[in-house]
């Protein structure tokens, strides 16, 4: 894409502000021209100090942007931003042609497709592109961005995403980015829940919870944590004797043994560990081992 790409950014919160700050700091090398908007004055002032311009409204921002990034809190706010942006497009030559709206907020599974339909009526492209990696990843440009949308829309936003993220995934058509993020976060928060069980068990056993957390972070950095099992390209049942059947067979033996011991310890200490019991029941079939017949 030749020339300078005009980028608008709405929503300068915990993750949005470091994302926008990264864009601001790389405008020259990436051939971007960044303008921002937020209802709060302070983060806008910080971005202006970092080299961005400030817009008076969402509408003004949309009217002067080629790519409009939206990182607000929820579906209602996303819809409000899009409504205001689309209402302002009469100020643009050729209507909305050329504008691509990027929804970085994590929205409901069906929201992106609904918003794409609204945008398309005004000649505007729209993608859902939620991010993973938190504020730290946003600040360092090491986010993963998960994009759902057409090939044309993906190509239009790619120069911006390459500044924001170390890993950019075109997950599929509109909505695929959101579904990708929800699958990732299901694991994230289920693992958090399991961590709280481990903390309760450790506390009841008289152990240091801070040290436990340090050990978990240390060993997860070495083993990959839950992602260490995620190499198969299917969740179907495994064929007995196959590579993964054999490899996961060793994992299953260790896991079931250790889960049995942990559950026995929890019973001895009177600690409720429903996630551990469910893991003991569901890990093997979840990995792809055939369900055992009664």
> What are the residues facing 165 on neighbouring strands?
143
Catalytic residue among 53, 167, 181, 257: 181
Show the CA angle centred on residue 61, arms to residues 143 and 23, nearest 5°.
Answer: 30
pLDDT of residue 23: 98
Burial degree of 270 (CB within 10 A; 0-12, 13-18, 19+): exposed
Active site residue 166: no
DSSP 34: E
Distance of alpha carbon 94 from alpha carbon 181, whole angstroms: 34
Beta bridge partners of 103: 70, 128
pLDDT (tens digit per residue) in 74-130:
999 999 999 999 999 864 544 555 899 999 999 999 999 999 999 999 999 999 999
pLDDT confidence of residue 89: 86
pLDDT means over runs of 10, the chain (294 residues) = 87 98 97 97 98 97 96 96 91 64 96 96 95 95 97 97 97 97 95 96 97 96 93 94 94 95 97 97 95 62
| pTM of structure | 0.90
**Dist. CA 167–CA 141, nearest whole Å:** 9
Residue appearing with tokens 């240091």: 208
Q: Which residue has the tokens 């942007």?
A: 65
Per residue, the 3-state secondary structure of 93-138, as one string, reads CCCCCCCEEEECCCCCCCHHHHHHHHHHCCCCEEEECCEECHHHHH
Q: Which domains does the chain have, with CATH numbers?
A: 5-173 (3.40.50.720), 180-287 (1.10.1040.10)
Please give the pLDDT value at position 95.
52
Mean pLDDT computed over every residue of the chain: 94
Among residues 162, 182, 61, the alpha carbon closest in space to that of 111 is found at 182
Which pLDDT score, from 0 to 100, does residue 3 have?
Answer: 86
Q: What is the pLDDT of residue 205?
A: 97
């Amino acid at each position: 894409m030749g020339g300078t790409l005009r980028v608008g950014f709405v929503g300068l919160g915990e993750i949005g502000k470091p994302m926008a700050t990264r864009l601001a700091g790389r405008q020259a090398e990436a051939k971007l021209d960044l303008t921002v908007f937020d209802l709060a004055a302070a983060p806008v002032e910080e971005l202006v100090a970092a080299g961005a311009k400030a817009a008076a409204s969402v509408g003004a921002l949309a009217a002067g942007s080629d790519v409009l990034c939206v990182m607000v809190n929820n579906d209602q706010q996303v819809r409000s931003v899009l409504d205001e942006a689309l209402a302002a497009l009469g100020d643009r030559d050729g209507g909305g042609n050329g504008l691509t709206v990027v929804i970085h907020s994590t929205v409901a599974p069906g929201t992106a497709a609904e918003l794409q339909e609204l945008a398309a009526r005004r000649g505007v492209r729209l993608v859902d592109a939620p991010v993973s990696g938190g504020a730290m990843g946003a600040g360092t440009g090491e986010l993963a961005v998960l994009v759902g949308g057409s090939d044309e829309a993906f190509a239009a936003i790619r120069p911006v995403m390459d500044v924001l993220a170390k890993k950019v995934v075109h997950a599929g058509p509109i909505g695929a980015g959101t579904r990708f993020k929800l699958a990732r976060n299901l694991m994230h928060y289920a693992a958090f829940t399991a961590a709280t069980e481990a903390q309760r068990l450790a506390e009841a056993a008289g152990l240091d919870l801070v040290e436990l957390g340090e050990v978990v972070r240390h060993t997860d950095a070495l083993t990959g944590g839950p992602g260490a099992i995620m190499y198969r390209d299917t969740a179907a049942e495994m064929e007995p004797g196959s590579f993964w059947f054999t490899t996961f067979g060793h994992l299953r033996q260790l896991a079931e043994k250790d889960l049995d011991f942990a559950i026995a310890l929890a019973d001895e200490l009177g600690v409720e560990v429903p996630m551990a019991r469910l893991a003991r029941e569901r890990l093997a079939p979840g990995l792809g081992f055939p369900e055992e017949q009664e």
